[in-house]
Amino acid sequence: MSTTSKPSNFDLSTFLRQLPNLPGVYRHINEQGEVLYVGKARDLKKRVSSYFQKNLSSPRIAQMVKQIARIEITVTRSEAEALILENNLIKRLQPRYNILFRDDKSYPYLMFSAHEIPRIAYFRGNTNQPGSFYGPYPNAWAVRESMQILQRVFRLRSCEDGVFANRSRPCLLHQIRRCSAPCVDLISPLEYHADVLRAQQFLDGDAAGVMGQIEQRMLSASENLAFEQAAIFRDQMKALASILQQQNMESTHRNEDVDIIAVVAAGGRVCVNLAMVRGGRHLGDRAFFPTQVKETNLTQVVEAFVSQHYIERPLPPVIVSTHPIEDPELLAIVAEQTGMKTRVLTRPQGMRKSWLEQAVANAELALSRLLNESMSRAARTLALAEQLGLDTDTESLENLHIEGFDISHTSGEATQASCVVYKNHAMQPSLYRRYNIVGITEGDDYAAMRQVLQRRFARVAEGLAELPDVVLVDGGKGQLNIAKTVFADLGLDQQVLVGVAKGEGRKVGLETLFFADERAEVALGVGSAALMLVAEIRDEAHRFAITGMRAKRAKARNVSRLEDIDGVGPKRRQRLLTRFGGLSGVANASVDDLASVEGISLALAERIYFALR
């Protein structure tokens, strides 16, 4: 892999001539060094050159090209490698001209454990480990619904291993006919495994075959006069038949895996609704709301979704979509990377058509809800901007950047400061930050606020970060004066500072806003949309600070408990924490496990075990 960049004083025609006819990734960069767009290409020379033709595909692309000051390329060994690199760069750089989908790698699965008596469980994470995994499912609810079906029909265990190993009598799930109680040998391992195999067969889509097997077992039990066993099989058949009747989205004549992608647009927003069918069973759907889709046709949205979604996830044999995938190379590249081939249907028939119609309806509902919520959030942003005298045009409101700060501690112990961020009419948890406050007098909130503001805004003074439009400081005039001092020392604009003073009894509606400049204080009043936004940011900063403080305090106290054990010095403490991955692991370890650590005798292991109980 090699990288080439275009110097700032380059000759465009020379640069384009020197581009290689090789696969790779290109990045368009403006004069400020911001990456505007990341793209992949089978032939870098042809693809990059196409941006500088007279007839561009859209006004949006033409606008981007005007801003390009530098281009960087990375040559890759294959198109599949270029696709991986492109997706990694899009996720990391968030370019303004790429269609962006929220990164949500962890889809849930239904797991059959690899135990002698397998348990069924909800699972998230890497499936490259012992056990059988079914999915991915679109959401947690779909997994738990499938687990309930398996318990109702096949009576499989879902209990933790510790519970299973220590049962002396059946649990409540057995009493309500949701578990066959293998923990106390009310079913033989051989019979239990047969139920596991039938459950997996059912998940694979062969419900009719499972029904036939159960019926044969019922008849055989009846012939052998095992009427109680025959009754169990009869109940299984009734439960399975009932479930199949309830699932009106069921495709009983097909054993197939299909993803349905429905894309709709309204009010300047786009919704991509992904529905999943596995083994002929409709598992539910999930809505995505990509950003930066202005002046973008919906086919490009589908292509961006397929590119970003399937690069790290299983590709089904069939994709049913409202819009075609026009890029002839995209599916081939994804198939090469995932090892799966797929075909795309845009005019499905029969059950697939029903699935697509339902996915479109769900996408429209999800988008309608989002637009209604967005209008409400935008109204709050507008109300606050008006109160603070900020720009109120649409673009300014969408980009309004507010940061809220708060301090939390318990009688001076484990002091933490929080910084929360509001932008694009919503809180942005991925941008939140916590700061451990050290070197101050315990309980000195002013010193704590001074430290967190100095640490946060020193980067702004050094040109390494942007100054927010509004900095909300919880605590009224006192904390606001601290903030003014910090900003004066750093040479930053104090007009962005706003102090929030709580009213009597801390009741919402009695807050007062104080400003660092000469503006008069403002009491927003109960029912004010601006106040609701201020209260949300303030309360979120408080919540984020206090949860961090409690975690820090608990960690400090637990480590102190380990330090207080006679015979556990720094070396032994480090060995214990390393072996068990932290204090919680040490606390959960058995005496024998503790004694297996170098330097820990059996007597000391017992002392540690009981001290942490």
What is the model's pLDDT at position 273? Answer: 93
What's CA 349's distance to the chain center, in Å?
34
What is the model's pLDDT at position 308? Answer: 84
Distance of alpha carbon 182 from alpha carbon 167, whole angstroms: 10
Residue 545 and residue 419 in one domain: yes
Residue 405 and residue 533 in one domain: yes
Give kind and range of the element (H or E) at residue 352: helix 350-388
Amino acid type, 147: M
What is the model's pLDDT at position 283? Answer: 80
In this structure, what CATH number is given to the domain that contains residue 576? 1.10.150.20
What is the model's pLDDT at position 68? Answer: 87
Is residue 467 scored above 90 in pLDDT?
A: yes
The band of 465, judged by pLDDT with boundaries at 50, 70 and 90, is confident
Average pLDDT of every residue of the chain = 82
Exposure b/e, 58-68, CB count within 10 A at least 16 = b: eeebeebbebb
Contacts of 574 (CB under 8 A, 6+ apart): none
The band of 262, judged by pLDDT with boundaries at 50, 70 and 90, is very high
Residue 495 and residue 528 in one domain: yes
Angle CA(496)–CA(502)–CA(507) in degrees, nearest 5?
135
What's CA 167's distance to the chain center, in Å?
37
DSSP assignment of 271-300: EEEEEEEETTEEEEEEEE--B--TT--HHH
Exposure b/e, 255-266, CB count within 10 A at least 16 = b: bbbbbbbbbbee
137-151, 429-443, 482-496: which is most confident? 482-496
The band of 345, judged by pLDDT with boundaries at 50, 70 and 90, is very high
C-alpha distances out from residue 58 to 12, 54, 62, 97, 262, Å: 21, 11, 6, 12, 23
- DSSP H helix total and E strand total for the chain: 21, 20
pTM: 0.60
The band of 419, judged by pLDDT with boundaries at 50, 70 and 90, is very high
What is the model's pLDDT at position 54? Answer: 75
What is the model's pLDDT at position 411? Answer: 57
For residue 334, give the nearest of 300, 311, 301 by alpha carbon: 311
- 129 burial via Cβ count (<10 Å: 0-12, 13-18, 19+): exposed
What is the model's pLDDT at position 6? Answer: 42
Establish if 105 belongs to a structural domain: no
Residue 144 and residue 43 in one domain: no
Q: Answer for the pair 153, 201: CB distance below 8 angstroms, yes or no.
A: no
Establish if 75 belongs to a structural domain: yes
Q: Answer for the pair 276, 73: CB distance below 8 angstroms, yes or no.
A: no
What is the model's pLDDT at position 351? Answer: 84
Residue 85 and residue 114 in one domain: no
Lowest mean per-residue pLDDT among 133-147, 369-383, 501-515 = 501-515
Is residue 556 scored above 60 in pLDDT?
A: no
DSSP annotation of 506: G
Mean pLDDT confidence for 432-459? 88
Q: Answer for the pair 179, 171: CB distance below 8 angstroms, yes or no.
A: yes
Residue 212 and residue 281 in one domain: no
What is the model's pLDDT at position 33? Answer: 82
Distance of alpha carbon 272 from alpha carbon 523, whole angstroms: 42
Lowest mean per-residue pLDDT among 312-316, 459-463, 555-559, 578-582 = 555-559
Digit-coded pLDDT (tens) for 482-497: 999 999 999 999 999 9
What is the model's pLDDT at position 239? Answer: 67
DSSP annotation of 495: G
Establish if 301 belongs to a structural domain: yes
Lowest mean per-residue pLDDT among 47-61, 185-199, 553-567 = 553-567
Establish if 150 belongs to a structural domain: yes
Establish if 101 belongs to a structural domain: no
Residue 548 and residue 405 in one domain: yes
* End-of-domain residue from the set 246, 279, 296: 246
Lowest mean per-residue pLDDT among 325-334, 346-355, 579-588 = 579-588
What's CA 191's distance to the chain center, in Å?
40
What is the model's pLDDT at position 505? Answer: 56
The band of 150, judged by pLDDT with boundaries at 50, 70 and 90, is confident
Residue 285 and residue 406 in one domain: no
* End-of-domain residue from the set 321, 348, 368: 368
Q: Answer for the pair 454, 448: CB distance below 8 angstroms, yes or no.
A: no
In this structure, what CATH number is given to the domain that contains residue 463? 3.30.420.340
Q: Structural domain of residue 440, as residue ranges?
A: 401-553
Phi-psi region of 36 (alpha: psi -120 to 50; beta: other; left: phi over 0): alpha
Establish if 373 belongs to a structural domain: no
Encoded tokens for 403: 């940061």
The residue with greater pLDDT, 128 or 356, is 356
Distance of alpha carbon 140 from alpha carbon 3, whole angstroms: 42
Establish if 391 belongs to a structural domain: no
What is the model's pLDDT at position 321? Answer: 94
For residue 418, give the nearest of 391, 453, 470, 373 by alpha carbon: 453
Is residue 173 scored above 70 in pLDDT?
A: yes
Is residue 301 scored above 80 in pLDDT?
A: yes
- Residue percentage of the chain with pLDDT more than 70: 87
Encoded tokens for 609: 């075990």
Establish if 377 belongs to a structural domain: no
Radius of gyration of the chain (CA): 30
Residue 509 and residue 409 in one domain: yes
Lowest mean per-residue pLDDT among 243-252, 384-393, 522-531, 596-605 = 243-252
Is residue 9 scored above 60 in pLDDT?
A: no
Q: What are phi and psi of 25, to 5 degrees?
A: -125, 140
Distance of alpha carbon 612 from alpha carbon 344, whole angstroms: 58
Residue 208 and residue 150 in one domain: yes
The residue with greater pLDDT, 545 or 551, is 545
Lowest mean per-residue pLDDT among 170-179, 193-202, 555-564, 578-587 = 555-564
* End-of-domain residue from the set 213, 246, 279: 246
Residue 152 and residue 205 in one domain: yes
Q: What are phi and psi of 525, to 5 degrees?
A: 90, 155
Residue 287 and residue 338 in one domain: yes
Mean pLDDT confidence for 357-363? 91
What is the model's pLDDT at position 548? Answer: 65
Q: How many domains does the chain have?
A: 5
What is the model's pLDDT at position 605? Answer: 85
What is the model's pLDDT at position 555? Answer: 56
